[in-house]
Amino acid sequence: MSRDFYQAPEREGTARILFVGDVVGRPGRRVLQRLLQELIDERLIDYVIVNVENSAGGIGVTPDVIREFDALPIHCYSSGNHIWDKREGLPLLDKHEKLLRPANYPGTNPGTGLHVGETAAGIKVATLNLEGQVFMKNLHSPFEVAERVLEELDDEVKIVIVDFHAEATSEKQAMGFFLDGKVSAVFGTHTHVPTADERILSGGTALITDVGMTGPYDGIIGFRVKEVLQRFATQRNVSLQVAKKDLRLAGAVVDVDVATGHAVAIERLLIPVTL
C-alpha cells in the first residue's frame, strides 16, 4: 500500500521491523549512513535487517564494509548468491554471528542461514535467509529447508522474518503462500526492482515480491548504463561499475503482533536522499 493509505496500528503489543533491500556499493552504504537512524527515530523502529550482499563494489562483502555496517544500529545482515564473490569476506560468515548466507546452500559451506536476535524490549526476532532455484543455482529446495528450520526453531520465537533471495516473481510469491501463517513476513530480494504488491495474506504473513535496492537509481539495477549495455550488445563478461546518482533507500516496514507473530501492517519504502 502507498504511504497515503498506510495506517499504523496501535503500538502496544506489536514490534516494528525495518527491512532494507540490497545495499549496492558505496553509494548504497552512504544512503544507509545518512538515513537509517533518522528512519528508526521517525518510525519508532524496533529491529533492523539489511541485505548486504551487493555492498562491496556491487558484489559481496568485505571486513571493512562490515565494520561500516557495525557502526550502525543494525540487528542482522542477510545476503544472497553474491555473498561468495569477495574471497576476503568468506571468513566473516563463520566469525560474524549477525551475517547470514542462504540456508539452502550445502552445509559444507561456511556460515548459517538463521539468526535470532532481540529488540531493546527483549522480544526475540528470527531472520531466515533463503535463495531461490528458478533461473539460479541448483540448490536444496528452499521450501523444504524453510520447513526444517522452522520446525527446529524454539517455540518462544514468535516473530520470523524471511529474506527470500530469488529471481522469479512466481517463486517468491509461492514462498509467501507456502509460509503463510508460519512466519511474520516474506521479503523478496535480488532483482533490485521494487514491486507494488505488498499485502498481508490470510494466515497473517506479510508478503512483498521484491523490496528493491538501496543505492543509485540512475543506472541499471545499480550499475552504470554503459557497461551493462556492452554486456547485452557483445554477450561478453564486461566488468560492471556501480552507478552514483539518484540515491534512494528501498525497503519495507512491517508491524507484527508479538503474541502471535502475525503481521498487522506492511508499508513499502522508497525514499530519495541528497548527500
- For residue 180, the cross-strand partners are 183
Strands 47-51 and 76-78: parallel
Query: Across the chain, which distance is largest between two alpha carbons, in Å?
Result: 57
What is the grid cell recorded at 102?
A: 542462504
What is the grid cell recorded at 121?
A: 524490549
Residue whose cell numbers read 520465537: 157
Candidates 82, 115, 165, 262; catalytic one: 82
- CA atoms of 8 and 93, how far apart (whole Å): 36
CB neighbour class for 119 (10 Å; exposed up to 12, middle 13-18, buried from 19): middle
Of 178, 173, 164, 175, which is closest to residue 127 (Cα–Cα)? 164
Let me know if 190 is a catalytic residue. Answer: no
- CA atoms of 207 and 180, how far apart (whole Å): 9
Q: How many CA atoms are closer than 13 Å to the CA of 90, on its beta-carbon side?
A: 7
Strand order in the sheet with 199-200: 114-118, 124-131, 159-165, 185-189, 206-208, 199-200
Q: Are 206 and 266 in contact (CB under 8 A)?
A: yes
Q: Are 57 and 23 in contact (CB under 8 A)?
A: no
Q: Give the active site residues.
A: 82
